[in-house]
Amino acid sequence: MKHELTLRIGPATFRIGSSWAAPVDQLARLYAAYPQASGTIADFTVRLQPTSLARRWVRPSIFITGDHGLADAAPMSLAHGLLAAEMGMNLQMALGWRRHLLLHASSVEKDGRVLVMTGESGSGKSTLAALLGERGWRLMGDEFALLDLDSGAILPFPRLVSLKNKAIDVVAAEVGDVRMGPLLRDTAKGDIRHMIPRGDAVARMDDGAMPRLLLFPRFGHDADVRAVGQGEIFMRLTQASTNYVALGEPGFAALARFVQAVPARAIDFPSGEAAFEMVERLWEELA
Partner 1 sequence: MSAALLVRALRDPASVARLSAESWNGLIAVARAERLIGTLAHRLKGIMVPPSVAPILADARLDTMREARQALWEADRCVEALRGTGVRTILLKGTAYAAAELRAGQGRFIGDLDILVPRAAMPMVEKALMTAGWEWVKPDPYDDAYYRQWMHELPPMIHRTRDRMIDVHHTVLPLTARQTPDAAAMIADAVEITDGLYMLSAEDRIVHAAAHMLADGDLQGGLRNLWDIYCLLPDADPVVLEVRAAHHGLLPHVRQARRLAASLYGEGARLTLWDRLIRARLLARNGWGQETRKPLVFAFYIRSHWLRMPPHMLARHLWTKWRKGHRPQ
| Interface residue list for partner 1 (CB under 8 A) | 1, 13, 15, 17, 39-43, 45, 47, 49, 66-68, 96, 98-99, 246, 248
CB of 18 to partner 1, least distance (A): 10
CA angle (189 as vertex; 188, 194 as ends), nearest 5:
115
Alpha helix (H) ranges present in 204-248?
230-239, 244-247
| Contact assessment for residue 128 and residue 107, using Cβ atoms and an 8 Å cutoff | no
CB of 19 to partner 1, least distance (A): 10
CB of 103 to partner 1, least distance (A): 18
CB of 102 to partner 1, least distance (A): 13
DSSP character at residue 36: B
Taking the CA atoms of the chain, what radius of gyration do you get in angstroms?
A: 18
Q: How far is CA 49 from CA 27, 67, 86, in A?
A: 16, 13, 14
- In the chain the first and final C-alpha atoms are separated, in Å, by 48
Residue (98 or 185) nearer to partner 1, CB: 98
CB of 224 to partner 1, least distance (A): 36
d(CA 276, CA 273): 5
